[in-house]
Structure 1
Amino acid sequence: MSGRVLCVVSQGVARVTISHPARFNAMSRAMWRDLRRVFDGLRGDASLSAVVVEGEGAHFCAGGDISEYPAFRFEEASLRHFHEQEVWGGLQAVLDCDAPVIALIRGNCMGAGVEIASACDIRLAADDARFGAPIAKLGFPMAPREAQLVSRVMGEVTAREMLLAAAVLPAAELKSRGALHQIVPADALPQTLDRLLGNMASLSPLAARLHKQLFRDLAAGTPMDQLLTGAYDYAGEREHREGIEAFIGKRVPVFR
């Protein structure tokens, strides 16, 4: 069984589950393709207030499924296809999601798991989570796009420590470095997520979409003069008017 990436949508929240429990949810090639398919399907869904990415059981994702590697890693063309089309295709689909994406992290978050978490907007972790990318032990580097993403989100100091020293870091250390938004005891993780989702459900979907696009443009280094073109086109949008009028009228806004 090569594992699966599953998605269930309920009440405006998509729960995306990395499911390969026999290998601590390690990502197979089929799972990378699944990840892209799932997020391509969610893109543009204005009914979503949030997407949650989590692992099945006690772990988020333990990395890549190494049992598959001999079949493709030793030829340049197949290796390039794996990283540029399958892996980056999945990560880019997560990055392109218009709804806020929350990584709910338990247990091992290694290699591919760190990359997926880095593609999410908010990283909420249990206090027993562990992070690393010890691929130097396997004799290969992180692919350029993936390393750029991890270095930008996790921080260059952390990326260098993970990749050059094969460091495995606890959640508390990553939180202190600004790579995680919140850590809580493992048994409090569901309640903390529920509170976060409840808050997000009350917010403007338009604002979320515009912020997500802005963050993508900033990460891509888009010049400010291009960002300013059309930056205020939302002026006449219903959600903009509703938010302001609700605040002045001292009532709860109705965005959806």
Structure 2
Amino acid sequence: MSGRVTCTRAAAVATVTLSNPGKLNAIDFAMWQRLAEIVGDLSTDAQLRCVIVRGEGEQAFAAGGDIEEFLHRRDTVDRAMAYHGQVGAALQALFDCRLPTIALVQGACIGGGLEIAAQCDLRICGASSRFGVPINQLGFSMYPAEMAALLRLAGPATVLELLLEGRILGASEALAKGLVTRVVADAEVVDEASATARRICAGAPLVASSHKRWVRRLQNDIPLGQDELRASFAFLATDDYREGLAAFLEKRRPTFSGR
């Protein structure tokens, strides 16, 4: 039976849930397809301001790919390329998402699950969460295109530690190595992710998207040109900028329109 990826909305926040009961939310091919579709649609929704990605239940965010599928989905080079092309499309959709994204991690966040979390802007996890990529015990290597996000997030030393040892990290060690943003008590992780989303939604949405773009651009070694520097002041022409200044001077909370 195939797993599912579902989406629910509450006000300006969308929650995307990975669900594969009985397999710790292991991600099958259909789920990778659906994840790409859902996130792509959410990114263009002007009514939304934040996306939370989580696993169903409290046992796992996602315990990797669905290994049973590998016997027929990745048994030749051509089929493996097609399979990982779809994985890449889902991960790229998360990376390209216009909206801020939060990975709400409970339990196991392994393999493909860690790849998904790494593409999110923030990763908030419970204290008993576990992280790793123990594929050295399965005899296959990580697809290079999927390794890129982990390298950006935690650097080569941590990535090599994960891949060469196949060790599973606890939440505190994952935090120290830069794999997660914040660790809270297990009972508080859902509330903390929701509170984080509310703080994001309270800010100017155009500014959030701009900050995402600039953080990624500044990781590129190419120096900024004058046109780019001028473009960084595009906010001067927005309604949100005028509203933000007016609200500050009038000592009230701003109401941003995303324009």
TM range (shorter): over 0.9
- Rounded to whole Å, the distance in 2 between the matches of 1:93 and 1:178 is 22
In structure 2, the residue matched to 1:65 is: 66
- Rounded to whole Å, the distance in 2 between the matches of 1:186 and 1:74 is 39
1:228 aligns with 2:236: no
In structure 2, the residue matched to 1:143 is: 143
1:122 aligns with 2:109: no
1:253 aligns with 2:254: yes
Aligned residues: 255
Residues 31-42 of structure 1 mapped to structure 2, 5 A cutoff: 31-42=31-42
1:81 aligns with 2:85: no
- Rounded to whole Å, the distance in 2 between the matches of 1:222 and 1:33 is 34
- Rounded to whole Å, the distance in 2 between the matches of 1:248 and 1:236 is 19
- Rounded to whole Å, the distance in 1 between the matches of 2:117 and 2:4 is 17
- Rounded to whole Å, the distance in 1 between the matches of 2:222 and 2:230 is 11
In structure 2, the residue matched to 1:112 is: 112
> What CA RMSD, in Å, does the superposition of the two structures yield over aligned residues?
1.5
TM-score, with length taken from structure 2: 0.93
Q: Residue 140 of structure 1: SS of its match in structure 2?
A: coil
Q: Which amino acid aligns with 1:215?
A: V
CA apart distance, 1:252: 0.8
Q: Residue 63 of structure 2: SS of its match in structure 1?
A: coil
Q: Which amino acid aligns with 1:32?
A: W
Q: Which segment drifts farther, 221-230 or 45-54? A: 221-230
1:185 aligns with 2:185: yes
TM-score, with length taken from structure 1: 0.95
8 A Cα contact 1:135 1:141, kept in partner: yes
Moved over 6 A (4+): none
CA apart distance, 1:200: 1.7
In structure 1, the residue matched to 2:209 is: 209
Q: Which amino acid aligns with 2:143?
A: A
Q: Residue 26 of structure 1: SS of its match in structure 2?
A: coil
- Rounded to whole Å, the distance in 1 between the matches of 2:110 and 2:170 is 11
Could you tell me which runs of 5 or more consecutive residues in structure 1 were left unpaired when the two chains were aligned: none
8 A Cα contact 1:107 1:126, kept in partner: yes
8 A Cα contact 1:7 1:38, kept in partner: yes
CA apart distance, 1:194: 2.8
- Rounded to whole Å, the distance in 2 between the matches of 1:178 and 1:74 is 34
Q: Which amino acid aligns with 1:149?
A: A
* Inter-CA distance 136–227: structure 2 relative to 1 (3 Å threshold): farther
Fraction of identical pairs, as percent: 38
- Rounded to whole Å, the distance in 1 between the matches of 2:17 and 2:222 is 33
- Rounded to whole Å, the distance in 1 between the matches of 2:63 and 2:196 is 25
CA apart distance, 1:70: 1.1
Residues 147-186 of structure 1 mapped to structure 2, 5 A cutoff: 147-186=147-186
Q: Which amino acid aligns with 1:69?
A: F
In structure 2, the residue matched to 1:11 is: 11
8 A Cα contact 1:118 1:154, kept in partner: no
CA apart distance, 1:221: 5.1
CA apart distance, 1:4: 0.9
Q: Which amino acid aligns with 1:79?
A: A
8 A Cα contact 1:135 1:166, kept in partner: yes
Q: Residue 183 of structure 1: SS of its match in structure 2?
A: strand
CA apart distance, 1:249: 1.9
Q: Which amino acid aligns with 2:31?
A: M
Q: Residue 32 of structure 1: SS of its match in structure 2?
A: helix
